[in-house]
Amino acid sequence: MAVMPRVGGMVLATALALWLLPAAAEPIFPELTGRVVDDASLLSYPEEVAVTADLKALEDKSSDQLVVVTLTSLQGYTIEDFGYQLGRHWGIGTEKWDNGVILIVAPNERKVRIEVGRGLEGTLTDALSKIIIENSILPRFREGDFAGGIKNGVRDIVLVLTGDAAEVEQRAKARRDADHPAISWLVMIFWTLIILWIAYSVWRSARYASRAGGRSSGPIFLPGGSSGGGWSSGGGDGGGSGFSGGGGSFGGGGASGGW
């Protein structure tokens, strides 16, 4: 008759273990000691001071908080899982606007992520975050220039947050064109052929109308609609000076990459 209490005790112990598991599995987050938390030691002191000054200038101008963190380990987590949990733990951005961003670099796992607060997901979109990673950060990281990649990433994130996303997109397009010159030439040849075809059609119609005594055989059809529509392309605060997040929330917005 002692079986039931023993079974009940086992069930209770199992339930208690499952309840405690998430807390035990939570990542160990680094301390938020400043706008740059360089645990992986990827930046020299002058580089850290310069990046910190840029981040402070952004916050002074817009109230948006951008923090750079380099990690020695992701502790077995994906960078996506670690990123949004770190954002919530630190509370980057203001509670009212959720306007925080974290540039995360994990060199040992060869991963980088731009983690975007809920309030900035419509400005620093997943697509723009991916463009910044692929075109501004990863090329430098692949060359072993971590400081250059971080500075490029900060520069482009700041440009997007301050309303200059077009410059980031244009630079990315220029890089793609440089990496794939054959595609650019094919596009140019395609449009040249279209223009020549239009010119030939106009000349042939005019010639036929002249032979027919000024009578035209019908309308000239040109590529595109008649509505005229077109195409569109798609001095720093140091390490520990009392900097802290303002209670911003993160929902997993942003993009990641690896090298």
pLDDT tens, position by position, 46-70 = 999 999 999 999 999 999 999 999 9
**Rounded mean pLDDT, 197-211:** 69
Secondary structure letter of residue 247 according to DSSP: B
Closest CA to 33 of 243, 245, 248: 243
More confident residue, 102 or 13: 102
CA dihedral (43, 48, 50, 51) positive or negative: positive
Cα separation, 110 vs 79, in Å, equals 10
The pLDDT of residue 225 is: 42
Distance CA 153, CA 124 (A): 12
Tens digit of pLDDT for each residue in 89-98?
999 999 999 9
pLDDT band at residue 232 using 50, 70 and 90 as cut-offs: very low
Q: Are 71 and 176 in contact (CB under 8 A)?
A: no
The b/e string for 3-34 (b: 16+ C-beta within 10 A; e otherwise) is eeeeeeeeeeeeeeeeeeeeeeeebebbebeb
- Tell me, what DSSP letter sits at residue 254? E
pLDDT confidence band for 6 (50 / 70 / 90): low
Q: How crowded is residue 246: how many other Cβ atoms within 10 Å of its Cβ?
A: 17
Higher pLDDT, 73 or 216: 73
Residue 243 has pLDDT above 70, yes or no: yes
Evaluated on CA atoms 58, 52, 68, 149, the torsion sign reads positive
Q: Nearest to residue 42, comparing CAs of 104, 102, 100?
A: 104
- The packing angle between helices 146-161 and 45-62, to 10°, is 10
